[in-house]
Amino acid sequence: VSATRAEKSISEIPMALTVIESKNIHKGRQKIGLDESLNRSPGIFSQNRYNFAQDLRIAIRGFGARANFGIRGIKIFSDGIPATLADGQSGVDDIDLNILERIEVLRGPSSSLYGSSSGGGINLITQDGPSTPFLETGFTLGDYDQEKYFFKTGGQTNQINYYASASKLKYGGYRENSETESTQLNSKIRYNFDSDSHLSLILNLVDSPLANDAGGITLSDVTKDRRQAQARNVSSNAGEEIDQQKIGLVYQRTLNDESEITIRNYYLWRDFSAFLPIGTHIPFVSNDGVVEFNRFFWGGGIQWNKNAYLFELPYRLVTGIDIDIQKDDRRRYLNEGGQKGALSFDQLEQAESYGIFVQNELDLADSITIAAGLRYDHVKLAVDDEYLNNADQSTDLQFNKLSPSVSLIWVVQPKSSIYVNFATSFETPTFTELANPARNMTTSLGGFNNVAAQQARSIEVGLKSSFFDNKLYLDIAAFSMKVDDEITSVSNIGNRSFFENADTKRRGIEIYSQLSINENITGTLAYTYSDFKFDYFGETTTYVGNKLPGIPSNYLFAELEFSTESGMYFAADIVYSGKLQANNANNISSSSSTIVN
């Protein structure tokens, strides 16, 4: 695996990490949402399934659970190119599941590796072209007006390895006002200069002219008709459309027997338009529920890996620099009953993230390795207000943070290890989470809300081992974490959320097991226990001791698969989610659920 910035066996990595292989991504899956594959990893909880306007809400050990839309708190990469913006928000609407080779999930704080918003990480690796060129096409038709078509090709020709795909999705959705339509084109071309160096070109095009939003409904509405949309979402024409282009370059070169270098560079252009159910018919609240922005996101990095000896002890060094810059030209207009009205908001937003990191591993003995990492990050968020009817609200914030980590791993025998890990993470608020409630009222006040960066410290112990001639694999991790200044939703005005800081304590146990009963039958089990509670909540002392909303205490995935050499297979799985709290006060909760596939 390569999620820790160096290719290593999973048993040699002193932190919780799950690998989801190609067969578990493609076999029997609809491949509409990334959560279909992520369910089999402990420590992960996904919501907003099939809401393509809101995107998946992915949480790793609670990081990301607060998101009203999109993904917060975790870093996502696809073939080395970030899917996480400089301000910390991630999206997966440009991920084509048809071309994924494997998914690596880092379960826990990893800011010493990846900087801000690294409460966990997801590393997506797409397929390479095989030695024999191929063409493949297919389609899926299903209930709720589901249509999906794909075409892909790949191969190796002299020094060029190529893989390309095109896919189109149409989906009516289970609920009213949840239709979506999306077309994607993806390609990865690798040119091998020689045996020591190659350059990969990655292209991604997304055209999504339709992604409607059914919105949230009350428990009473669910009882009456669970397929209905929120009335305000329908009247506001809630939904979004996206046009995006992305290009990435990754160059790798082996310098000598001891070291190699990786250089990456990427550019992303995104045009976005959305009608939101915000503020309509609510006194003193602006109904600026039409959002448009033009985004330019670019950056790159350089990384140097070295294997050598220190006092005759083997060590491995990884060091490098990351630069990510995001520029959004954002405008809001009045939502006049689903029609675009007058301009009400216009500002240029810029996020800059600069990081320098070093990781070092030293083998104290043949079976014992100590590792340490340190990263320094500078993040700047700036707003240039171009709508001056309510005074000039231009402002900026800067965050500077050192993120250390240290770990010790004992490889008891090949493919079996025990480790202990201390890790840290920090997370800046995104632009939407810095919005001041006063800006949404009919006053001249505004600017950034007083939301500090979130910081976490985690202690983790774990076991990874294979038994019975590799027929049984077992991964157990237990952790205790302290999160200061947790970015928490505290109020809602006109369907818009606003955020402040709180403190939490998190404890958890994660178990992953895979058993090959024989050459045809495989069983998989992933269980997560989460005990996440508020430790401090400002003046609202009654919330102290309450559970963090949006995360169930118990979560279970179990699967049994039967396959034959001819390619026929049968699989059944069950996903159980325990009761979860729906607000900070813990006076509203969602009951447990069970899904069988």
CA distance between the termini of the chain? 29
> What was the pLDDT predicted at 310?
86
Report the share of the chain in percent with pLDDT over 90.
73
Instruction: Indicate whether 283 pLDDT > 50.
Output: no
Instruction: Indicate whether 408 pLDDT > 60.
Output: yes
- What are 330's strand-pairing partners? 293, 347
* Strand 580-581 relative to strand 146-157, pairing: unpaired
Residue 283 burial (CB count, 10 A): 7
pLDDT grade for 444, boundaries at 50, 70 and 90: very low
Residue showing tokens 């790793």: 60
The pLDDT tens digits of the residues spanning 209-227 come to 999 999 988 889 999 999 9
Q: Please, what is the Cα angle at 504 between 500 and 509, to 5 degrees?
A: 140
The pLDDT tens digits of the residues spanning 37-64 come to 999 999 999 988 788 888 889 999 999 8
In this structure, which amino acid lies at residue 437? P
- Of the candidates 425, 487, 503, the one whose C-alpha atom is nearest the C-alpha of residue 116 is 425
| 461-466-471-474 Cα dihedral, nearest 10 degrees | 0
* Strand 75-78 relative to strand 121-126, pairing: parallel
3-class secondary-structure state, position 396: strand
Residue 564 burial (CB count, 10 A): 10
pLDDT grade for 75, boundaries at 50, 70 and 90: very high
Instruction: Indicate whether 496 pLDDT > 80.
Output: no
- Of the candidates 459, 505, 514, the one whose C-alpha atom is nearest the C-alpha of residue 484 is 505
| C-alpha separations of 355 from 108, 335, 361 in Å | 19, 40, 20
- pTM equals 0.93
Tell me the average pLDDT across 357-377.
95
The pLDDT tens digits of the residues spanning 497-528 come to 667 788 999 999 999 999 999 989 999 999 99
